[in-house]
Structure formats: C-alpha cells, structure tokens
Amino acid sequence: MRIKIKRRVRTSSSEQWALFDADVMDENEQPTNIGKADVHYDPEMVFVTMLLWSEFTETLDETTVQQVIDEIMDEITEPVGAAADFSLDFFTPSLKDYKFQTSLEDEEEWDEAEEEEEDEEPHERNGKNPWN
C-alpha cells in the first residue's frame, strides 16, 4: 500500500487533504480514495480530523490501520515549521453515506470557484461525493 495525499484546500492555518491508496486503481484507473483529513495548524500543536472510509478499513487489521494513520500523521507533522505534537479525531464512516453540499447555486459559479483552486480535480455536484 502506497498512501498518496492530495491537498484540496489550503488556508494560512489549515489544509484539507484527500487520501488515496496509489496501489489500488478505481474504475477510472485513478488511485482509490481511502479518506480525507482536515488539518489545523497551531504554533504548539496540529489538530486533525481524519476519516478513513469503512470500505477501506474493513479489509485491514487494527495494526495496519494504525500504520496508515501513522504514515499520514508523519506527512502532516514533518513539514518545516509544523508542530510535532498533534491531536487526532479519527472516524471510519462509509463513503456511500458521505454527502457533499455547496452554497454555489449554478454550475458556472462552481466552475469559477474550481478554477481558483490549484491542482484540483472537478467535484461532483448536487449532493454527490467529491472524493471519488
């Protein structure tokens, strides 16, 4: 398993990451999405909420899940200037239950917002999952 992380959003003190298994391809021949992480940087600690989809974790033993979490947390805390101490909230919801919503009402507004994001793939709309 090779964990691939893709930053979806970045602010001055936080990031949102999509998490992938680069060794397993989906139906579009892209790395399989295994979860997401919301990361908030404080001068003394990094606060993380991590979701690993149950469709991914149910095939792994507890030790392997912990290794995945450790690898992702190393990636989060290793950059220069990031605190090594962290607080992690960890959940394993089902990807099929995940819903994405936006306040942008029409496709043109959404497309303009997407163009402003760097290196992002298009999102699905109307409550569909943007993580696939």
- Alpha carbon 52 to chain centroid, angstroms: 9
Domain coverage including residue 17 = 3-98
Written as one letter, the residue type at 97 is D
102 in Cβ contact with 125 (< 8 Å): yes
25 or 118: which carries more pLDDT confidence?
Answer: 25
Residue at 123 is within a domain: no
More confident residue, 30 or 102: 30
- 79 has a pLDDT exceeding 60: yes
Does 90 fall in a domain?
yes
Q: Residue 40: inside a domain, yes or no? A: yes
Query: How confident is the model at residue 124, as a pLDDT?
Result: 43
- Domain contains 122: no
Domains in the chain, number: 1
Cβ partners under 8 Å of residue 32, min gap 6: 20, 21, 24, 25, 26, 56
Is the residue at 131 inside a domain? no
Q: Which of 99, 13, 12 is nearest to 51 (CA)?
A: 99
- 29-45 average pLDDT score: 92
Residue 126 lies in a domain: no
Q: What is the pLDDT of residue 126?
A: 44
Residue 53 placed within a domain: yes
pTM reported for the whole predicted model: 0.74
Local confidence band at 115 (pLDDT 50, 70, 90 cut-offs): low
Question: pLDDT band for position 74 (50/70/90)?
Answer: confident
**Position 111 confidence tier, pLDDT thresholds 50, 70, 90:** low
Within-domain flag for 42? yes
